[in-house]
Structure 1
Amino acid sequence: MSDVTWDEIRSLRADFLNLQLTETANKLSERNCVELIGLLVKEGLLNVIYTTDGKDIITEQRLIREILDEIYANEGRINIVDLAQHLKIDLSYIESKVGDVCKEDPTLQFILGQFISAEYTSHLVEEINDMLVERGLISFSELIRQYDLPTEYLNSIVTNRIIASSLHNIKFESGTLYTDNYVRLQQNILIGYLEAAFLPVRVSEIIKNTRINENLIQ
């Protein structure tokens, strides 16, 4: 293979890149593939990455595609540690391709080791809105525990996507999200309790007997 010309090398490189996408019967033998790959890598015309088990190789272009496929298959959110395990690729290679992946799909965000898609964010907004309509009140700490998301990202979602665009007059105070309807309901319960009381009552007794939110009384 030492007499191969540059034009032939370039042609072989193109054949190899297409080889992964074809299912024809006339494929190169394993020995020829190894020889070809070694030559292309040596000449600097091809960059390949070996899987952690050493059984397979993948081109850098193909790795970007595989990363995107994994993100979409995991509903638009995955951390790079899991990604490396799923693809059997060393974590350092995944980290080196973060910028290329986000460039390939500009709707993706990379936040504290996680890829998060625009679709995932939209679904998250809908889910939190539905919870608020149903329950009236949710603590921010509960959202962090439930979704295991970075605080800064979640705070941005709450501020810019939920409060700013909500039709239910949602407020965010003292680490708690709540709707106007919830406040009115709590007020009605409190008024009803106080009107029924014949003697002065302690705040602690009101909270215990009505189970209304303590922050709203204060």
Structure 2
Amino acid sequence: MANVTWDEIRNLRADFLNLQLTETANKLSERNCVELIGLLVKEGLLNVIYTTDGKDIITEQRLIREILDEIYANGGRINIVDLAQHLRIDLSYIENKIGDVCKEDSTLQFTLGQFISADYTNRLIEEITDILLERGLIAFSELIRQFDLPTEYLNSILTNRIIGSSQHNIKYESGTLYTENYVRLQQNILIGYLQGALLPLRVNELI
């Protein structure tokens, strides 16, 4: 395939795309496909990425789509190390596409090596809120351990989406989230305890 013109290369590329959409019997042979792809890559008309095992190739645009599909398939949250392993793509290619992926889906966040979708964030907020309504309080450090989340990300959604919620009156103080209902319950318990006491009580007995 030496000494071909640019027009011939463009025609070959068009033929390649058309043949791939026709019946199997009319498709190019594997050898011809490899030669054609190699020529297109060499001439700068096609950019492809090889998988880590060298068995498959993928275009840069298709890689973005595959990354998005993996994020959604994993519930809206995945770190790029796992992503690279799932796609069998070198980590450096994933890192180079972070900006393009977030541009393709503007609801995505990338923080400390993880893609996190808006849907995941919404589900997380609901789950944390349910925990608070059931228990009344929970330590910030416990949430970090339970959900294995970056501190910066968790602090952001707590500050902007949960704390001060007009619906549930959730507060944050000294590293602990709590509801006003929990505070009122504890006050009522304390009042009842004091009213029922027959003898003077030490403060440490009330804690």
Q: CA deviation at 1:5?
A: 2.4
Residue 192 of structure 1 aligns to which amino acid in structure 2? Answer: G
Distance 2:68 2:163 in 1: 31
Distance 1:147 1:156 in 2: 15
Does the C-alpha gap of structure 1 residues 23 and 94 become closer, same or farther in structure 2, counting only changes over 3 Å?
Answer: farther
Distance 2:164 2:121 in 1: 15
What are the residue-to-residue correspondences of 1:77-156 with 2, within 5 Å? 77-156=77-156
> Which residue pairs with 2:45 in the alignment?
45
Distance 1:127 1:18 in 2: 49
Runs of 5+ unmatched residues, structure 1: 208-218
Distance 1:23 1:147 in 2: 48
Residue 159 of structure 1 aligns to which amino acid in structure 2? Answer: T
Q: Is the 8 A contact 2:164 2:171 kept in 1?
A: no
Aligned CA RMSD, in angstroms, stands at 1.8
> Which residue pairs with 1:213 in the alignment?
none
Distance 1:195 1:152 in 2: 45
> Which residue pairs with 2:205 in the alignment?
205
> Which residue pairs with 1:27 in the alignment?
27
Structure 1 segments of 4 or more deviating over 3 A? 11-20
Distance 2:168 2:16 in 1: 57
SS of 2:52's partner is coil
Q: CA deviation at 1:203?
A: 3.3
Q: Which deviates the most, 75-84 or 132-141?
A: 132-141
Per-residue deviation, residues 102-144 of structure 1 (Å, max 9, x unmatched): 1111111100000001111111111111111111111111110
Runs of 5+ unmatched residues, structure 2: none
> Which residue pairs with 1:158 in the alignment?
158
SS of 1:198's partner is coil
TM-score normalized by the length of structure 1: 0.88
What are the residue-to-residue correspondences of 1:58-69 with 2, within 5 Å? 58-69=58-69
Q: CA deviation at 1:166?
A: 4.2
Distance 2:15 2:94 in 1: 25
Distance 1:127 1:119 in 2: 12
Distance 2:108 2:77 in 1: 9
SS of 2:201's partner is coil
SS of 1:171's partner is strand
Identity %: 84
